[in-house]
Chains A and B, each alone.
Chain A
Amino acid sequence: MNANPYLPDMATIVEVIQETHNIKTFRVVLNNEQRMKDFTFRPGQVGQLSVFGVGESTFVINSSPTRKDYLQFSVMRVGEVTTRLHQLQPGDQIGVRAPLGNSFPLEDLKGKNIVFVGGGIGMAPLRTLFVYMLDNRKDFGDITLLYGARSPADLTYKAELPEWTSRKDVNVVLTIDNPAEGWEHKVGLIPNVLLEINPSPANTVAITCGPPIMIKFTLQALKKLGFADENIITTLEKRMKCGVGICGRCNIGTKYVCIDGPVFTYAQLKELPSEL
């Protein structure tokens, strides 16, 4: 971050990957070589991407701090900024304000078994931590990734999925909502498949992200499986502007999602007033 927290770094898009019909992944390099070299962040932190003349929006940095050739952001086309981002090509200039927010509690996760539960674009914040764990595999116990989407076409990071599913040191389960031709993985809603996999809560932390309705039923499933509230971690989304705890819109009571979040345990969320 710059001393002036509103000042983005100018950056160049180096690669654009069409993930689904409305999700693109952008690989970005800061123009200032030294700042790119010095750039550090922790998995779970977010960044604000600027299209100048249009605006800024918040996205999780979904590359891993262990792989520093570029910063990666996945963007679903929903509004003004994301629509304009989707029109950009490699070589185009954008602004980056990052890293912002808190991160996954890496220290607490060391030595634990990990169950990732991701739905749709909710895979983005999980990807950064998942890749980080792959790169530091010995620091963690069993790793399970349950990732689902409506259909095979709605899965992001398709280029990486074959490698992930073929690895022996992680258990990757993919699921889609309805049967589809040529689909060799699970069929069923994420919470149901989660119950079917039946991960043990012993020494295990569950990390989940996805659409609100999926989160709701995934939390119920995790509770059914015996996960304690403090061993369930999720990341929140709110409308943000400044990203540094000043502009006043992303609060839930006394907590500001942009600085106190976006990563919260379910136990922490229960302490907050109910305004999600």
Chain B
Amino acid sequence: MSQLDDLKSAIKDRLGELECVIGWEQGYDALHATPLFIRTEADLDRLVIGPLAVHNLATYLTAYKGKKIGVVVKGCDSRSVIELVNENLVNRDDIVVFGLCCDGVVSQPKIRAALPADPGFVESVTIGTDELKITVAGQTVTLKKSDVLADKCRVCQHPNAIIADVLIGTKQNPAGANSLACQEEFEAKSDAEKLAFWQETMSRCIRCYACRNACPMCVCRDYCIATSRDPLWLSQDNSPAENMMFQMVHVSHLAGRCTECGECERACPVDIPLMLLRRYMNKQVKDVFEHQAGTALDQTPPLFTFKVEEERIHERGW
């Protein structure tokens, strides 16, 4: 049986006891998947998995607090489930985790760049083991999956769901690489270059908060500081400075909590490379606290607690 068939049969076994199971189905065209809320066996026919199933479905879990629900997760998504459980934002016993062994998902911007015409003109997509055959505006091209893989997958250390009530598929090996060229290039920039970069990039930001609402760990949403008048931290003025301020608030609030699923960057309608900020923050947290969010149950996020003397923060030595 294929991984998809195994998944369908696993969901079928548990569906009766669950409010719904969240998976993916084909979206508005052959190149896009979209979240699917499975309530009946008939819904299962629409279930898809694979490189187009990009969404981190853990984002939806907090909305179902108190109900029994199933969720299909990739390795990276499973980290978000763990973090939500660790922060007591969801109850582990209420969630049936259908974990996938994942060999990576695509980056739509990379597909866009690789295609001979706008992906909006897509006619058909055939997904092979290592390649995607895409017909767009009458032209058919074959893209190597490794060329259009999402950045997070290139450095993925957890391809197999870390927690799962049912683990489906053949276990995948972690990626060999542990750093991304784009990150290194960014961090090598001077302060002045970084400032110029963010001023240009943040002038595109429209403050739609897709980055915030797509984030599985951004649970304030309706009560976010971004639109609050009391306290008043941000003007509603759309300027690079205010937009950047929001991103700094966002990333700071994720310190020690970000599971690097990349949903913020994927959700951004104007392609702002928000993961540059996340990865940098996560590296600091790892260096200082030896912590990577969502990699084990019963972790306490470092900023949820404190030690009188932090081993790696030498306050008194300055």
- Report how far A79 CA is from B230 CA in the complex, Å: 9
- Report how far A80 CA is from B230 CA in the complex, Å: 7
**B316 within 8 A of partner (CB):** no
Q: Is the interface of B mostly helix, strand, loop or mixed?
A: loop
**A55 within 8 A of partner (CB):** yes
Chain A contributes a number of interface residues (CB within 8 A of B) equal to 3
- Report how far A79 CA is from B232 CA in the complex, Å: 13
**B307 within 8 A of partner (CB):** no
Q: Which residues of chain A come closer than 8 Å to B229, judged between CB atoms?
A: 55, 79-80
Interface residues in B216-232 (C-beta closer than 8 Å to A): 229-230
Q: Which residues of chain B come closer than 8 Å to A55, judged between CB atoms?
A: 229
Q: Which residues of chain A come closer than 8 Å to B230, judged between CB atoms?
A: 79-80
Q: Tally inter-chain residue pairs, CB-CB below 8 A.
A: 5
Contact with B along A74-101 (1 / 0, CB 8 A): 0000011000000000000000000000
Contact with B along A47-64 (1 / 0, CB 8 A): 000000001000000000
Interface residues in B124-142 (C-beta closer than 8 Å to A): none
Shortest beta-carbon distance from B73 to chain A in Å:
36
- Report how far A137 CA is from B262 CA in the complex, Å: 70
Shortest beta-carbon distance from B232 to chain A in Å:
8
- Report how far A55 CA is from B228 CA in the complex, Å: 13
Residue of A nearest to B228 (CB): A80
Q: Which residues of chain B come closer than 8 Å to A80, judged between CB atoms?
A: 229-230
Residue of A nearest to B232 (CB): A80
Shortest beta-carbon distance from B225 to chain A in Å:
14
Q: Which residues of chain B come closer than 8 Å to A79, judged between CB atoms?
A: 229-230
- Report how far A80 CA is from B229 CA in the complex, Å: 7
Residue of B nearest to A81 (CB): B229
Shortest beta-carbon distance from A80 to chain B in Å:
5
Interface residues in A214-269 (C-beta closer than 8 Å to B): none
Shortest beta-carbon distance from B154 to chain A in Å:
44
- Report how far A193 CA is from B154 CA in the complex, Å: 73
Shortest beta-carbon distance from A124 to chain B in Å:
24
Shortest beta-carbon distance from A84 to chain B in Å:
11
Shortest beta-carbon distance from B226 to chain A in Å:
16
Shortest beta-carbon distance from B298 to chain A in Å:
41
- Report how far A55 CA is from B230 CA in the complex, Å: 12
- Report how far A79 CA is from B229 CA in the complex, Å: 9
Shortest beta-carbon distance from A188 to chain B in Å:
37
Shortest beta-carbon distance from A213 to chain B in Å:
24
Contact with B along A148-188 (1 / 0, CB 8 A): 00000000000000000000000000000000000000000
- Report how far A55 CA is from B232 CA in the complex, Å: 12
Shortest beta-carbon distance from A42 to chain B in Å:
32
Residue of A nearest to B229 (CB): A80
- Report how far A41 CA is from B229 CA in the complex, Å: 32
- Report how far A55 CA is from B236 CA in the complex, Å: 13
Shortest beta-carbon distance from B257 to chain A in Å:
30
Residues of B in contact with A (beta carbons under 8 Å apart): 229-230
5 interchain pairs (CB within 8 A)? A55-B229, A79-B229, A79-B230, A80-B229, A80-B230
Among all A-B residue pairs, the 5 with the closest Cβ atoms = A80-B229, A80-B230, A55-B229, A79-B230, A79-B229
